[in-house]
Each structure stands twice: as structure tokens, then as C-alpha cells.
Structure 1
Amino acid sequence: MFRALFNEETDLAVRIDAFQNAAEELRVKYDDGTWRNHYRNTNVISTYLWLRYPDKYYIYKYELYKAAATELGADYAPKRNGSETA
């Protein structure tokens, strides 16, 4: 999962989707009913990318992104779950 996420030769959106899908597959396979989170949201994935490539990526934070979009009068409103689509 992480090797694929860190593969800079692949489109970022494809890598994020693949990571989220692999995390979901692990959750389905190993969840005994006690898992509350399997750390596959955009904030966590952006943290993984930032830790590996700190000069290229940043940590996604919904509240900051929304405040900036509002201040700039952007037509785009970010989603709370960090989805890359509006």
C-alpha cells in the first residue's frame, strides 16, 4: 500500500484511491467488529505523503482549507471528509 502511495510515477489521485481501497479491503478482512477507524481519510494520507516527501506535500486540514476558500471567495467548497471532489 505504502510503496504504491509513494510511487511518484503514478497520478496522485490514483494513488490515493488505491490506498483507500486497500485500507478498506484490510478493514473488511480483519475487522472483528471493534474497528472504529482504519486511517484512510485524506488528512491521514496527506500526512503519510508529507512525512515521506516533506518538501512536496502538506497536511490537509479541512478547517484551514475551508477558511481560505471562504476568504478568497472561491466557488469550491471542500468536503469535511477531505474528498478531492466537491
Structure 2
Amino acid sequence: MGTEFETIEARITSMLPQLQSECGILQRMVYKNKNQHRRSSYFQRLLKVRRDLRLLQSANMEELVSSCLLVIKGDRPKQKLHLLGR
């Protein structure tokens, strides 16, 4: 289980920068197409996805993920996991 957990941890941490770059691409697409598609239902859902991604970025995902992985692994985190209560 230790090696499986380590591979999952490595995959998650390697995907965080990719998520940030894709979030930038999504924000640029919304910026370019907002006037033309703002009333469409699919574009409204896309705006909700953008809003949720901004909330994730403001929650400091790297620190949150590392603290959660420490708790799952069984190690004690350096700080108490009060990040979710913000």
C-alpha cells in the first residue's frame, strides 16, 4: 500500500500545475467569448466552472492537498487541518 499511496501522491501533486495552466486557458476562453455567448446555457455552466476553479485557487490547493495527504497517510500535519473551515 505504501508504494501505491506514493504513486497516487505523486500523480496528484504533478497534476496541480497542469490544472493551473488549464484554468488560465479557460479564463482566456471566457474572456474572449463572453459577449457572444453570455446568454447560452452551456456558457453559463462554463462560468460556474470558472468560478469554482477560482475558489479552489484561492483556497491554496497545494497546501490543502499536502495536509490532506498527510492525514490520509497517518502522519501528523505540521499545522492542524483548519483550512477547510475558512
TM category (shorter chain) comes to 0.3 to 0.5
Q: TM-score, structure 1 length as denominator?
A: 0.33
Flag the structure with higher helix content.
Answer: 2
* Larger of the two Rg values belongs to structure: 2
Q: TM-score, structure 2 length as denominator?
A: 0.33
- Ranked by relative contact order (alpha carbons within 8 Å, sequence separation 6 or more), the top structure is 2
